[in-house]
Chains A and B, each alone.
Chain A
Amino acid sequence: MVDELDVSFGGIHALRGVSLSVPLGAIYGIVGPNGSGKTTVLNAVSGFVRSSGGIHVLGHSVSRWPSHRRFGLGMARTFQVPKISHTLTVWELMRMGDHGRRDRAWWKETLAPWAAAREERETRRRVGDTLESLGLDTGLLDTRVQTLAQGIIKMLDVARALMAAPTLLLLDEPTAGMNEAEIANLAQRLQALNAAGLTIAVVEHNIRFLAGACHIVAVLHVGRKICDGRPEEVLIRPDVIEAYLGDVDTGFADPSHAPENQGRPAS
């Protein structure tokens, strides 16, 4: 996905020579302490920050593309803190996700709304399916997004990204702001989507979630990649523990808590 990526803000190097490769069909975790550059990787891939080095998305070299073109390739992403307009309803947010799949000119859409009505019906059906697949209430459609709980907003952001029918989904700290039940639900839903062929790259703090859900994890520390590999191997490495897990409850260093025991074979 990214190759020898360098990103710097002013004199600060956020990423130095980071290369990550997300195999198609995998759930790929990117871990690291605060400030290690996890989100910066996603932002570089999204085209939100200037970077040097190669960025390849689904067979295209996109490092010089504007954001909206990159997301036209079948890539979608969520945000750590979704900033959603208070004027948008759930239905309109879902339509934003669907936006890139339509190519009718805006003025045609405005002057002849009945022409878009058929597509809108199809969209409405897909919205229902998508919300259901994530275990969300389909009765929320006319609710203003801002009035909902943070955990639900995060799930809606995932639903919005799925509305683009992506082949590659980038998730930015999806579990932040979610409770334990929501996290377990999310892990389960993501594995189901992955089983249906979706490639997922997830930036995450929550080791328990990562170890349970990911096939591969890469560990970043102050802008460099320390290592990558299967979670049960990587997360017990002494340098990883020192960089990140040092003062945290390291339940996963104990083999009895290894991911195999959590019902997820890391293949």
Chain B
Amino acid sequence: MTSAVRAVSFLVPARRLIVFVVGAVACAIFLPVIFSGLNLLIVNQACIYGIAALGLNVIFGMTSLLSIAQAALMGVGAYTFVLTANRGIGFPATVVLACLGAAIVSAITGLISTRVRSHYFILITLALAETVTLVAANDLSLTGGDNGVALNTIPTIFGDSLVTPAAFAPLAIASLFLVWYLAECLRTSRFGVALRAISTDEYLAAVSGVAISRYRLAATVVGGAFAGLAGAMLAISDAFIGPQNFQLDTGILLLLMVVLAGGGSNTGTVIASAILTYLSQGLLTLAAVGELIYGVAIVVLLIAVPDGLAGVGHLIERQVRTGVRLLTVRVQNH
């Protein structure tokens, strides 16, 4: 390799960073212009669910730990955020605390994952999810019970209050892109490859010197931290949180996003989050018919794209490559 190539090769990881920054800036500027009213609320909601789904993608998509507790972990983050913010702790610090809180609770499932597998693990996450919502609904002095708890002071960024959907959208979009970028770095790193190896063949991982239980634990910590961030974002967006935000149906919605994405793909997860958030929220104006369409749409999506959106992406990629090859052959022949 020539020294010139060597000198610029650090740019390869930098290229991804540039793409994500440009994407985030473009989306943060244009999406609030294109969408307004209810649609902008759905964009914000999709970003929040997207962040949580990317976290679940680390836990389930990459590591194959099937968890339905992701919404409950969002809840842990949201309550941590609101309760610390209402006690006078400043804005960025409260978000960090929300991530930490959710990561710690998630780590409990990670520790358990070294002992139990597959369906037993799902039951453990079910128990955790129920515990979190029950504590939220019944610990009146701390969480306000079923009435929930309001965020007393809406955070401000550069002096701008985040109270309106239009003001909140850039933060939500920037957070989504940050998490998306981190998840993508993680997926392609040595660590991410090891996680994906663990998920299909623990023996392959073990003979490669991977300490499997430690890696599983790390995956749950990362996924939990992302859920905590999503919870904090939800609390800012709604200025109010209650146990109903973090029920099992949300946990299953997040799981569907990762399943629809397929193959641990982060980009697929983000697209699936947008589609499923729209289906679950955007159709609510149709009342009960909306839920019916939502249900049918999920069944159709799962049948139509069994390999998930990642599978569709690979198919298109293959078609394009074949097309390009045929084209170059034809050009050479002429």
Contacts and interface: CB of A to CB of B under 8 A. Distances in A.
Interaction A to B: yes
Interface of A: 46-48, 66-68, 71-72, 76-77, 79, 82-88, 92, 95-97, 99-100, 102, 104, 106-107, 109-111, 113-114, 116-118, 121, 160-161, 164
15 contacts: A48-B203, A68-B209, A68-B212, A83-B204, A86-B200, A88-B193, A95-B193, A96-B204, A99-B190, A102-B190, A106-B191, A113-B16, A113-B188, A114-B14, A161-B207
Given A87-B263, A110-B189, A164 B196 contact: no
B158 interface: no
B9 interface: yes
A85 B199 contact: yes
B204 A110 contact: no
Contacts of A92: 193, 196
Contacts of A48: 203, 206
Instruction: Report, nearest first, the 4 A-B pairs whose CB atoms are least far apart.
Output: A100-B209, A85-B200, A106-B191, A67-B206
Given A85-B196, A85-B200, A95 B206 contact: no
A109 B190 contact: yes
Given A68-B211, A97-B208, A87 B196 contact: yes
Contacts of B209: 68, 71-72, 99-100, 164
Contact of B204 (A82, A104, A109, A113): A82
B196 A99 contact: no
Given A84-B200, A88-B200, A121-B9, 12 more contacts: A67-B206, A68-B208, A71-B209, A79-B204, A86-B200, A88-B193, A95-B190, A96-B208, A100-B208, A104-B190, A106-B218, A113-B189
Contacts of B111: none
A46 B208 CA distance: 11
A46 B207 contact: yes
A107 B197 CA distance: 18
A109 B205 contact: no
Contacts of A67: 206-207
Contacts of B263: 86-87
B235 interface: no
B115 to A, nearest CB: 15
Nearest to B311: A86
Interface of B: 1, 6, 9-10, 12-14, 16, 182, 185-186, 188-194, 196-197, 199-201, 203-212, 215, 218, 263-264
Nearest to B265: A87
Contacts of A68: 205-206, 208-212
Contacts, number: 109
The A interface, classified by DSSP as helix, strand, loop or mixed, is helix
B12 A117 contact: yes
Nearest to B218: A106
B310 to A, nearest CB: 8
Contacts of A161: 207
Nearest to B213: A66
Contacts of B10: 114, 117
Given A84-B200, A85-B199, A85-B200, A106 B189 contact: yes
A116 B186 CA distance: 12
Contacts of A47: 206
A110 B194 CA distance: 13
Contacts of A46: 203, 206-207
Given A96-B208, A111-B185, A117-B13, A84 B201 contact: yes
A47 B209 CA distance: 12
Contacts of B1: 121
Contacts of A107: 218
Contacts of B212: 68
Contacts of B186: 110
Contacts of B182: 110-111
Nearest to A43: B203
A99 B206 contact: no
A116 B196 CA distance: 19
A146 to B, nearest CB: 10
Nearest to A91: B193
Contacts of B197: 85, 88, 96
A129 to B, nearest CB: 14
B317 to A, nearest CB: 10
Contacts of B191: 106, 109-110
B13 A114 contact: yes
Interface centre among A88, A97, A102, A113 (most CB of B within 10 A): A113
A110 B191 CA distance: 8
> Which of B1, B13, B189, B192 counts the most A-chain CB atoms under 10 A from its CB?
B189
